[in-house]
Structure 1
């Protein structure tokens, strides 16, 4: 495999604001790569530098073997780009707009735009000015995918989409990868990256704080747990969690009595749920919830584990 995107020591400053701080990045051909981080982490700035909307303060960028700042229109036609802030000509219909964009981006096979519109449930006859945020986002996705580019660069691609359309988008990403296309997408939604990307980088404050395979990033290793047990006491539950099946990875544990014989609990689980379930199996479990933490909490955890928690 060879790198479709190569970024080395990339910096971007806007006056006194250091938005991107020395990022190194390589995206291999035929892969799906995710950039994940909270709003303001630097994701959009990185993507805009890849398509030469803005230029680096320092560092090097190569996209499809070329430097974006010296590239010609031929390079841009090999890329499908969806910006985070989508601005469309509102004085035309969706179909007319896509025909105009097809003249710019390159050949679009007959029937492709109609097929994509059907899959995303978008009426292309409607004027752009009448479209909701979600339908405008669908139009943006169609223009990015329709000419089947070698490289797709997608900034927050599911913003404004309902869950069914989000699922269809993930199917489009899988199909693009199977066809040999390369996809770089950004998101602040953990599950979106987990369900679509082969590799990912976590950005915070303009830096990559973790990078690698999805499983290795501990994105799925930290969960919030809470529950309700009956027929027991706080002391008995505490002893069970410290017993033979002790749960070493349960942190910030809060145990509290509810009525005479019920105990509520909550905590952060860093690891597998199996030891916790075994420890609680001796009690009557009235309720047990294990949920993904929000992104801010996960990024803070990654800071702690990489020594960047300054």
Structure 2
């Protein structure tokens, strides 16, 4: 069963770019990643899906129903966490959450308490006394308190410390096991790789790729930085898969895609002072993974 269905969804702001011809589906029970650089159109897509802004053309359906025609009905079964959360400062956390729960016409008291304990959220505090991270926790509890069938998360981990991020991921996985479908929007590739089954990648308002996470991992670059005792010539490091080579007297950096053992064997031959290996950011992946040899970009790849 398709929980989300976008069909050539387009939103323009006068002459400014929004999103263009987005088409993809999210199946029941998926944790679906929606990723791209900041400003790529992720939030615009989500706000259009939720009926917060109207599409210029195309359509979005949730639970098989048009998001505009059936907006209020659909929203009763959706939990939404926006990228930025704003609240009335003089309200206490528990009052805000119970007020939010009143819209769903069900008693959510037990659920609110359970979620607050998981996220270590003090329900007695006033909103203006909370840090950014604790306000994000309020948003998480608010989005999940009515046990939604679809959870839509827009950059949900900003402001959370690593421990709370881990706890939040475990909470999402538990909700998914109970049957919730999750759309997880992020610009952090590692988060999406940890949680998601499939991923849609958006750049400049257009769908670049629709892939299984397993395929994305196979094609992901690693970013290396080496500090060496002596200068290393590029010709001595000629192995397939190395790109973006830069070097000064004792520092080398490059991207690598391929069998990690090949590059590690080559590095083992060198006299190192230090080494850093990390995931490249999404912009770097877009530049290399989604550019054809003739320089044109892939507009769409089916999973």
| TM-score, normalisation: structure 2 | 0.90
Q: 1:276 aligns with which of 248, 254, 263?
A: 263
Larger Rg: 1
Q: How does 1:143-162 map to 2 (within 5 A)?
A: 143-162=142-161
Q: Does 1:91 align with 2:90?
A: yes
Cα deviation for residue 188 of structure 1 reads 1.3
Compared with structure 1, are the counterparts of its residues 39 and 252 closer, same or farther at alpha carbon in structure 2 (3 Å cutoff)?
Answer: closer
CA contact (8 A) 1:76 1:105 kept: no
Partner of 2:243: 251
Q: Which runs of 5+ in 1 are unaligned?
A: 259-263
Q: How does 1:1-310 map to 2 (within 5 A)?
A: 2-71=1-70, 73-217=72-216, 221-230=220-229, 234=232, 238-239=235-236, 241-242=237-238, 247-258=239-250, 264-305=251-292, 307-308=296-297
Compared with structure 1, are the counterparts of its residues 219 and 144 closer, same or farther at alpha carbon in structure 2 (3 Å cutoff)?
Answer: farther
Which deviations, in whole Å up to 9, do the C-alpha atoms of 1:7-27 show, x marking residues without a partner? 011110111113001100100
Aligned partner of residue 275 in structure 1, secondary structure:
helix
CA contact (8 A) 1:83 1:154 kept: yes
> How many Å separate the matches in 2 of 1:135 and 1:71?
33
Aligned partner of residue 225 in structure 1, secondary structure:
strand
CA contact (8 A) 2:98 2:109 kept: no
Cα deviation for residue 109 of structure 1 reads 4.6
Compared with structure 1, are the counterparts of its residues 219 and 165 closer, same or farther at alpha carbon in structure 2 (3 Å cutoff)?
Answer: farther
Cα deviation for residue 227 of structure 1 reads 1.7
> How many Å separate the matches in 2 of 1:88 and 1:181?
26
Which deviations, in whole Å up to 9, do the C-alpha atoms of 1:200-221 show, x marking residues without a partner? 1111110011211123235862
Aligned partner of residue 291 in structure 2, secondary structure:
helix
Cα deviation for residue 233 of structure 1 reads 6.2
Which deviations, in whole Å up to 9, do the C-alpha atoms of 1:105-143 show, x marking residues without a partner? 342554221121122121111111222221111101101
For these two proteins, the number of residue pairs brought into alignment is 297
Compared with structure 1, are the counterparts of its residues 280 and 303 closer, same or farther at alpha carbon in structure 2 (3 Å cutoff)?
Answer: closer
> How many Å separate the matches in 2 of 1:81 and 1:267?
39
> How many Å separate the matches in 1 of 2:158 and 2:140?
11
Cα deviation for residue 256 of structure 1 reads 4.9
Larger displacement relative to structure 2 (16-25 or 213-222): 213-222
Aligned partner of residue 103 in structure 2, secondary structure:
helix
Cα deviation for residue 180 of structure 1 reads 1.1
Cα deviation for residue 253 of structure 1 reads 2.6
Q: Which 4+ runs in 1 deviate beyond 6 A? A: none
> How many Å separate the matches in 2 of 1:143 and 1:219?
37
> How many Å separate the matches in 2 of 1:183 and 1:224?
30
| TM-score, normalisation: structure 1 | 0.88
Compared with structure 1, are the counterparts of its residues 41 and 285 closer, same or farther at alpha carbon in structure 2 (3 Å cutoff)?
Answer: same
Q: Which runs of 5+ in 2 are unaligned?
A: none
Compared with structure 1, are the counterparts of its residues 59 and 291 closer, same or farther at alpha carbon in structure 2 (3 Å cutoff)?
Answer: same
